[in-house]
């Protein structure tokens, strides 16, 4: 018989991860500065400090993702939600963040549910329990192709986009096209800045699209 999988309630392993250290060397700072048009030593020093904070946070989130629940553990939590409508608010508050995110993704995007807003999941469960149960069942039915995307990556990219815009006074854009030719990797100066930084922090990262 297959081994029974139980939900991983809460975040005991994730919350115990220490913020890692991250340091950029002079060559890396100069490379990233060139994407922003920076050459002055003082400006590069400020950029270095800011990017090192972002890099450390990104590494922390990567470690937390790796220690997070397996897909089977998430599914076990979703099954618990769909099977216990009478204790729904209590059940959803015990779910780990990754499983809660899968529920919220369905609530925010599925056309049959038409939920929009920023309420906490337990409040939604109290106000519209049937909606949350349906969302859990829909999430269970979704097939995943390839590795799960890092939900924190867009936050890192937004921070880097703000640095680009504040430093260059240009709007942040990224495109995989060079004029009309498709290259498959970011071709704008902004996109190359983000890609260069992410590859320094995590050499395994794929080009973001």
Mean of pLDDT values over 172-199: 72
Instruction: Give the residue from 136, 68, 143, 69 showing the smallest Cα distance to 107.
Output: 136
| Segment 151-185, tens digit of pLDDT | 677 778 889 999 999 999 999 886 544 555 544 45
pLDDT band at 201 (very low <50, low <70, confident <90, very high): very high
- Between 71-83 and 129-141, two packed helices, what is the crossing angle to 10 degrees? 150
| Segment 19-50, tens digit of pLDDT | 688 999 999 999 999 999 999 999 999 999 99
Token pair for 123: 């409040």
- pLDDT on residue 189: 87
Mean of pLDDT values over 189-197: 92
Q: In percent, how much of the chain has pLDDT > 90?
A: 30
- pLDDT on residue 184: 45
Q: In percent, how much of the chain has pLDDT > 70?
A: 73
Q: Helical H runs in 37-152?
A: 41-67, 71-83, 88-94, 97-109, 121-127, 129-141
8 near 96, Cβ under 8 Å? yes
How do the domains of the chain map onto residue ranges? 24-67+152-201, 71-141
């Amino acid at each position: 018989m297959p081994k029974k999988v139980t939900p991983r309630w809460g975040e005991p392993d994730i919350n115990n991860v220490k913020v890692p250290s991250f340091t950029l060397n002079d060559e890396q700072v100069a490379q990233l500065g060139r994407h922003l048009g920076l050459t002055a030593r003082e400006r590069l020093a400020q950029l270095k400090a800011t990017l090192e904070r972002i890099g450390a946070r990104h590494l922390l989130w990567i470690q937390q993702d790796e220690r997070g629940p397996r897909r089977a553990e998430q599914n076990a939590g979703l099954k618990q939600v769909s099977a216990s409508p009478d204790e729904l608010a209590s059940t959803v508050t015990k779910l780990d963040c990754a499983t809660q995110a899968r529920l919220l993704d369905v609530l925010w995007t599925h056309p049959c549910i038409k939920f929009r807003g920023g309420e906490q999941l337990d409040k939604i469960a109290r106000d519209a329990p049937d909606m949350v149960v349906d969302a859990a069942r829909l999430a269970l039915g979704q097939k995943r192709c390839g590795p799960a995307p890092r939900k924190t990556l867009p936050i890192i990219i937004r921070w880097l986009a703000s640095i680009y815009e504040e430093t260059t006074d240009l709007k942040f854009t990224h495109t995989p096209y060079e004029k009309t030719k498709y290259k498959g990797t970011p071709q704008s100066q902004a996109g190359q800045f983000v890609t260069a930084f992410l590859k320094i922090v995590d050499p395994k990262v794929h080009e973001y699209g």
